[in-house]
Amino acid sequence: MIQRIQTLYLFLAFAVMLLMFFFPFAEILSGEGLIYTFEFDGLQTSEKGLIFQAIPLIILLCVILGITIVSIFLYKQRIIQMRLNFINMVLMLGYVGLSYYYVRHFADKLESVAVNYELYGAIPFVAALLTYLAIRAIGKDEALVRSIDRIR
């Protein structure tokens, strides 16, 4: 399990997505001069704390992390592992879209002056790339196993 390159890719994708818990996605500067940060759990300020909790983002992030861990341990069922990883990749891109939607929604609601997207917003794209590399490696393993079965 650990010897396979796709396990390393999936573990790195898990670690990268885990970073979403620690870094903000965007900062919103409101018309009153307040700075709001948008993190994985919602919109917050340094003075008031959490203002709006984005529960769908929390659930989606936990589902993504759960699927990644489950996929790591499905190394004997390569076809199912590839399908789960494809679904996970779509969910990662959906996470970015949903986060962007929430930031735009809050920016419009707060009548913001500026929205500053952080570099950490690209984390799901990196995780999706690592998941794609894992899918390719799993496909190569499956092709190798099928070719060996033909020889017998």
Which residues 6+ apart lie within 8 Å of 95 measured at CB? 57, 60, 61, 64, 124
Using the predicted structure, report yes or no on whether residue 1 has a pLDDT greater than 60. no
Residue 110 corresponds to which tokens in the numbers above?
């707060």
Is residue 127 in a domain?
Answer: yes
Query: CB atoms < 10 A from the CB of 116, how many?
Result: 13
pLDDT of residue 133: 95
Taking only the tens place, the pLDDT of each residue in 129-147 is 999 999 999 988 888 888 8
pLDDT of residue 113: 76
Is residue 43 in a domain?
Answer: yes
Banded model confidence at residue 152, pLDDT cuts 50, 70, 90: low
Is residue 123 in a domain?
Answer: yes
Is residue 36 in a domain?
Answer: yes
Using the predicted structure, report yes or no on whether residue 59 has a pLDDT greater than 90. yes
Domain limits at 10? 5-145
Q: What does pTM read for this prediction?
A: 0.86
> Would you say 147 and 94 are in contact if contact means Cβ atoms under 8 Å apart?
no
pLDDT of residue 103: 87
The count of structural domains within the chain is 1
Using the predicted structure, report yes or no on whether residue 150 has a pLDDT greater than 60. yes
Banded model confidence at residue 46, pLDDT cuts 50, 70, 90: confident
Is residue 150 in a domain?
Answer: no
In 3-state terms, what secondary structure has residue 94? Answer: helix
Taking only the tens place, the pLDDT of each residue in 64-79 is 999 999 999 988 888 9
> Would you say 30 and 111 are in contact if contact means Cβ atoms under 8 Å apart?
yes
**CATH code, 18:** 1.20.140.150
